[in-house]
Structure 1
């Protein structure tokens, strides 16, 4: 075996854990989201065949015939009280499609089930999947695994009739348009300050970066205390402007203010994180360029605009793209702090549809649209902001 082949095999062997991780936790979820966006997948239905039932209790409720009295009835008499579709859907607890109802009507073995009930041959507990396989004969496998119904582009069509889709998407877009430029500029300013040779600069670097390593939940709770009506911010403003008639504001419950309050929090908490990226870029700029500019008579403002910013373009592209992705996907602060649907973002609306409304197919369609929008915005940013000056 050639040396290069051996080297490649060893390289792939060491990279296998990362490759498998990416495939399982990144590639597969993306493919699954595209698939589920074309179905009516409902997570509450996905496990319906794994539940355990007591068939005696179900039959007693459905037929009104007690287990102890079943032998006193003939099969024909019991059939008068038995409707297989209603029994499976209402008493066993399996939601049926129209196609499945027809299969139940035609193939469900009612005689065998009622005979087992009379003879006491039913188990006291049985999984729904095993129960259906036992009494559906050759079509039993159809009722042992949940298969979402393919609906094509219906979820995407429904999206354009959904008022909350437009509201949440607009909120996410507005959030990105305001937060990304401000946090990028603030991160550059912090990086320039942290890169200066002044006493105690390492302390300021730590302070600026501290919000980035703090739990988002903890930050949200702190800002809840700040933004609440009896909170710190209102107390300060009352002390300063109370004589002018200032009244306390409930920042998180006021729809016209709530989203902007979250924006301010996000800018404060992420600027220090992106500062590190710009700090690395600043340290790669040769000091001789700055010295030459000062010799030519350039002032600090001119050096910043004509030298520092152009040479930071690769970092600006990276930070703006990563910032846009983060802002379009913002979820945790909205989840912790926002209580009205007028200020939700698209990621939070995806969560509500998937895990509160039980509409995973529709949520997947929303996720696919968000994926497409983020991809387009990232490509546009790379096109507009050139990495090379």
Structure 2
């Protein structure tokens, strides 16, 4: 039995080059960067180097990069920080119905505390309508938060156009780019992005470290208080090894981006085309360049996604039915419901996401393994039996 990992959207492994750079900061280079002696200066310099690497990757200034405890913290900081700092201007925030829960739950929290949130609809491929965005902005709107690329169905939003609209209307624009950075080109200046969230563990770096890019001059309140770290904006002794690892990981990702995109797109399309040969299946999200290079999400009618996952696990294949952050939920994906799928079809979703360790042999193994699993599960399904008896198409 092969062991095939196809859940790179959930997390990635740490690349050997990344781990190698991290290791000294667990042992001999352990000084607190806020101290004044030699070993502390070493760690301070390491943080500065990582910050420079992130700034180069995003095309921003070093003084616009703030290290966080991960993507969720960065999302929370961006949204709550702007809401608090600009409550005198307005209390209206705009987002979408397919955001990661780090954004959705933060917005719901703010709704309970007097803020008004508009959740934009998406079409059947997961794209927002730019006219809907324009019409939703009012004189009370202080922030638009729309994810760069969806973690479940791979839809890449028209970020540059969204940024232009926000700039014209004098509204801050934040994007959750956790899935995008390292997988597609990202340029905060060209795309008119005011704030951007990313996470180390999605780009072959360590877990527990992220970044919030904040455009210079933006007024934003702190989320965490208690110290002068990160230019007095994010208190807490720095996760030096994590920061170093993220810096190396993002450098490697950007240096190899074109080749990575080419390889992932080829494997993705081979995987999708093969899975769609199974009868009564549906691709969720768009085809082509508007989809993340390594993302596939397929619905198999008449069966449950959880049963597919258990069967795949038995065959050595790691996959998911949606976001890793909601894997314990029995409810169908909010993303699939938002693109118009009925509950009974949304329940049969399978997300297979590719990464640096993926091979043609892995894809072939999955394509050989999935069809008999689907056939077996359908033969045990009352829904499939009813379908056959009714002779529906």
Shorter-chain TM-score: what band? under 0.3
Q: Compare the two structures and name the one with the higher strand fraction.
A: 2
TM-score, scaled relative to structure 2: 0.20
Q: Compare the two structures and name the one with the higher helix fraction.
A: 1
Mark the structure with the bigger radius of gyration: 1
TM-score, scaled relative to structure 1: 0.20
